[in-house]
Amino acid sequence: MPRFRSKFEQKLALDLKRSGVDFGYESKLIRYLKPHTYTPDFVLSNGVIIEAKGRFLSSDRGKHLLIKKQHPELDIRFCFMRASNTLNKRSKTTYGDWCDKHGFLWCEMKIPREWVI
């Protein structure tokens, strides 16, 4: 018998087994996306979306990866207060490195003129 997450699940599994029911426990992975909305900080007249970030939390990074995957037509770029900040205390990856890795354009402190044109 597999290891169950609770005594209740274990009891149900024993009941199913005793009844001769064939079953799998946590044998299927079902992906789902919670519907959320995203409100960009700045939307330029040329369609470029700018996110202004002081802190770039794990939740922000995950959200932007999902948005990029589900809306590849959007041109989302980041403007960081300090792009050299690392993702966390134990990481060597900077905010800028993360953007480079995931295909996001980024800048620091000031939006480049060429982004606005």
Its pTM stands at: 0.74
The pLDDT confidence band at residue 1, using thresholds 50, 70 and 90, is low
Q: What percent of the chain has pLDDT over 90?
A: 76
Rg for the chain (alpha carbons), in Å? 22
| pLDDT at 20 > cutoff 90 | yes
C-alpha–C-alpha distance, residues 58 and 90, integer Å: 13
C-alpha–C-alpha distance, residues 45 and 40, integer Å: 13
Q: What is the tally of helices (H) and strands (E) in the chain?
A: 4, 4
According to the model, what pLDDT value does residue 34 have?
75
The pLDDT confidence band at residue 24, using thresholds 50, 70 and 90, is confident
Q: Which domains does the chain have, with CATH numbers?
A: 1-30 (no CATH), 31-116 (3.40.91.30)
